[in-house]
Structure 1
Amino acid sequence: MASDGGWITASQIPRDVVAGRYRITGRLGRGGMGTVWRATDELLDRQVAVKEMHLPEYGLSEHESSTQRDRALREARSVARIQHPHVVVVYDVVQQDGRPWIVMELVDGRSLAAVLSEDGPLPPREAARIGAAVAGALRAAHDREIQHRDVKPANVLIEQRTGRVVLTDFGIARIPGSATISETGAFVGSPEYTAPERMMPGGGSAGPESDLWSLGALLCAAVDGHSPFHRESIGEIVHAVAIDDIRPPSAVGALLPVVHGLLDRDPARRMAAAEAMTVLTAYAEYGIEPPTPQLVRRPEPDLGADPGADPGAAADVGGPAGRTPADRAGTPQLPTGGGPGPLATRRGRGRRRAGIAVLTVLAVAAGATAAVLVTRGSGGDPAAATTGAPVVRSTAPATTAGPAKPPASSAPHTAPVPAGSTRVEDPKGFSVVLPAGYVRDPEPPRTYYWSADRGFRFGEREQKPDPRGPYGVMHDQDVAGPSANGYKGYRDGVITRTTHRGQEAALWEFTYDGFPNKPGARRTFDLCWTQDGRMYDLWLSAPIARVEQARAIFDEAVASFRPHR
């Protein structure tokens, strides 16, 4: 959680220490569902955010109040299981003074709402970067049948040092098999960011698509300063959301196709989270403008169409128009561009890749064409992953993302070693740049290096080329899931077909539950490629909360890696 500047006097701070260990030191913010406090975890000596839940007590019997408290605790524990790089980390859920308290990571930064208020609207590409991260967080939540239901700028945090984007405040989330804490007869949420189906009678049962509408409104707010449904009264807001013509601000620019795809009043036609992540990532990192609205969105029903016509025929004319909602988790592709590393973005400032793709984009930039295939692990034939996806060509000029640059990894790394890092000469026959203090820990045929605090683990493996190629190797491990290398709790696996130093390569990203002696969700980045008759595999894993730092370390390691052959 981030500070909203609303500090209070010492006399207003709760005197008690929550759960015997979280000492309250100040207020970070207050919303309709609770107050968020800054606190010190005196057991682990770290700063945390503690949310004091405000539950509807007036007019409720003791039994009803107890039920509401138990429900809030159950929901918070469910949300804690998401464990995604762009979802706030939940450390603990406790009860005190008859109220639930949720203990979360303290994000050192500001909310998107504060950024817009203090600095003004964002450029479209920065808005796309933030939107892609939120879309990834929503996909992870929806995969676990959890709906956020309150996606808005105030609930999106941006870490000051790294630029990491974090979706927070699942206080009114919907959990499978449970009514939500807000279902007491009153609407809870932010009307300017609420999907029209949630405003209708029975709207409490609206599906996860409603979160994607909110993302569309958030993108508009990011580039224009406020939601396109901003009005003077609640009645006018509801009318704008449910009935008025939807007019996105001109500031959305190239993001217009995505906004149109998300702000569709028909939930069945609305762009899915993975699709939104695809085009937003491509634009944020490479300047590849999203395809025109008719390529992203399915057309209005043609009442005169032949009912026996092939529903997939529309894909033959260049778009996902003929796909059913179930097809929207299909085969994706993204451009590699000329970025400085497998994970880094050209825009600098520590901004890193946040995307997972779902449709095909063939990018033509500065006279060079490159393509990347990204697919969610499905257990299917990897050879089939290159077929059946619609092709969308970028119409953006080559100068959109700046002059083309060759990937830093396309040649041996010759740049000076950054301050705080060192070039390691491994006796196995390779060298690589890692932060100073990493300690070697070989486990043949793998070689590991651990950071001093045992938080980061770098790994290297060399073997004979596999006839399946790098993508096939990664695909088999993805299908194996938890049994692959002991990755307990394996999830969120994504494989990207790409190139490295001019050779076929595959990038595998995934989350798992960590090590038996060091529990806690971890994110792993793993690049595999074949070079000079050998297959190399480099990876780096780190705690979820340190994922942005891990991206930078991994990029440097990959770019600097030199086999001594």
Structure 2
Amino acid sequence: MQGLLVAGRYRLVDAIGSGGMGRVWRAHDELLHRAVALKELTAALYVSESDRTVLLARTRAEARAAARINHSAVVTVHDVLEHDGRPWIVMELVEGRSLADAVKQDGRVEPTEAARIGLWVLRALRAAHSAGVLHRDVKPGNVLLADDGRVLLTDFGIAQIDGDTTITRTGEVVGSVDFLAPERIRGHDPGQSSDLWALGATLYTAVEGLSPFRRTSPLSTMQAVVEEEPAAPRYAGPLAPVIAALLRKEPAARPDTDGTERLLAEAAEGRRPDEAQAYIPTQYGGPAGHGTQGGEATGGHTGGATGAASGGAARTSGSGTPY
């Protein structure tokens, strides 16, 4: 398909990301003469008619959700179009790599840098929540680290918009299970704090190099999310109590967006935020902020390809390697 002209305007250059749901292309906009990312929903070619309807609805919902948010930390959606009987999303092209790939390539992220990344993701979430959008799939694969230093949140493919009819079927859980908040696994309606819990799991993954709840199967992973505490982080430094606060099982026990911003700002400066202790139960208090906790994560980091086109992040690596 390389070289194909989509919708009479976008020339496909090369594939820069792929996954079970689709593929992301670097493309050239021949009208405006600029590079863009073009997300192709390949999964629609191989599923039943009823599943195709759901996939198409999710793609359109992603475009609507992202288009409602005007923030520098959210990947811009330029257009959504029909080609070959499927919707394609035209997005801002971000040159860089995902947080998932940074962890994969570098092992882990320094706590102060992880806190800086977390602040930008939080700002993106604040803008989304203010626009009535829950992201519902915050994870390292959906956090982009641009070569120019920017941090951007992408992939609103399973976002929930206030007032929209849900396109999730009864009993269906969507999202990466080790980054789903406990209340979502229990079947409760998600709220803004569910996105903040996922941010906490993302930050844990960044500083430790592994997901806090990843187990050997989706079922055991979901059980760990609901019932177990993550192993105490060894490399989180001043970010440890912030992560512990965000990963509280009950939504009401977590800091809100403003509180999280204060905690992350202190951690980004290398200072341990004392305010975080108010959110951590005494039984988990200890030198690392939450002491001995049950259940050591056995899985690795979240691979970049997992997040790349399950929603399709608009990204490339410096070496040109797709992910």
Common fold by TM > 0.5: yes
Q: Where do residues 330-345 of structure 1 align in structure 2 (5 Å cutoff)?
A: none
Matched with 1:295 is: 278
1:31 aligns with 2:1: no
| Deviation sequence 1:426-450 (CA, Å, 0-9, x none) | xxxxxxxxxxxxxxxxxxxxxxxxx
Structure with greater proportional helix content: 2
Matched with 2:250 is: 266
Q: Conserved in 2, the CA contact under 8 Å of 1:121 and 1:223?
A: yes
| Cα drift, residue 70 of structure 1 | 4.7
Q: Conserved in 1, the CA contact under 8 Å of 2:58 and 2:157?
A: no
| Cα drift, residue 31 of structure 1 | 3.2
1:140–1:111 CA distance, 2 compared to 1 (3 A): same
Q: Conserved in 1, the CA contact under 8 Å of 2:65 and 2:159?
A: no
Query: What percentage of aligned pairs have identical amino acids?
Result: 49
Secondary structure at the aligned position of 2:81 is classed as: strand
For the pair shown, the structure with the greater C-alpha radius of gyration is 1
- Give me the TM-score of the superposition, normalised by structure 2: 0.80
Q: Conserved in 1, the CA contact under 8 Å of 2:57 and 2:167?
A: no
Matched with 1:217 is: 201
1:19–1:278 CA distance, 2 compared to 1 (3 A): farther
The alignment yields a C-alpha RMSD, in angstroms, of 2.4
Matched with 1:105 is: 92
Q: Conserved in 2, the CA contact under 8 Å of 1:133 and 1:277?
A: no
Output the amino acid matched with 1:102.
I
1:257–1:56 CA distance, 2 compared to 1 (3 A): farther
Structure with greater proportional strand content: 1
Q: Where do residues 42-441 of structure 1 align in structure 2 (5 Å cutoff)?
A: 42-53=30-41, 54-55=43-44, 58-61=47-50, 65-66=52-53, 69-70=56-57, 72-160=59-147, 162-183=148-169, 186-200=172-186, 202-203=187-188, 205-284=189-268, 286-291=269-274, 293-296=276-279
Matched with 1:18 is: 6
Output the amino acid matched with 2:267.
Y
Q: Distance in 1 between matches of 2:54 and 2:150?
A: 36
1:288–1:245 CA distance, 2 compared to 1 (3 A): closer
- Give me the TM-score of the superposition, normalised by structure 1: 0.47
Q: Conserved in 2, the CA contact under 8 Å of 1:261 and 1:271?
A: yes
| Cα drift, residue 188 of structure 1 | 2.2
Output the amino acid matched with 2:214.
H
Matched with 1:428 is: none
Whose RCO is larger (CA < 8 A, sep 6+)? Answer: 2
| Number of residue-to-residue matches in the alignment | 282
Secondary structure at the aligned position of 1:109 is classed as: strand
1:299–1:135 CA distance, 2 compared to 1 (3 A): farther
| Cα drift, residue 235 of structure 1 | 2.2
Structure 1: any 5+ residue segments left out of the alignment?
1-12, 301-565
Q: Conserved in 1, the CA contact under 8 Å of 2:3 and 2:13?
A: no
Matched with 1:388 is: none
Q: Conserved in 1, the CA contact under 8 Å of 2:62 and 2:159?
A: yes
Q: Distance in 1 between matches of 2:114 and 2:276?
A: 19
Secondary structure at the aligned position of 1:222 is classed as: helix
Secondary structure at the aligned position of 1:250 is classed as: coil
Output the amino acid matched with 1:51.
K
| Cα drift, residue 83 of structure 1 | 1.5
Output the amino acid matched with 1:175.
I
1:258–1:68 CA distance, 2 compared to 1 (3 A): same
1:249–1:182 CA distance, 2 compared to 1 (3 A): same
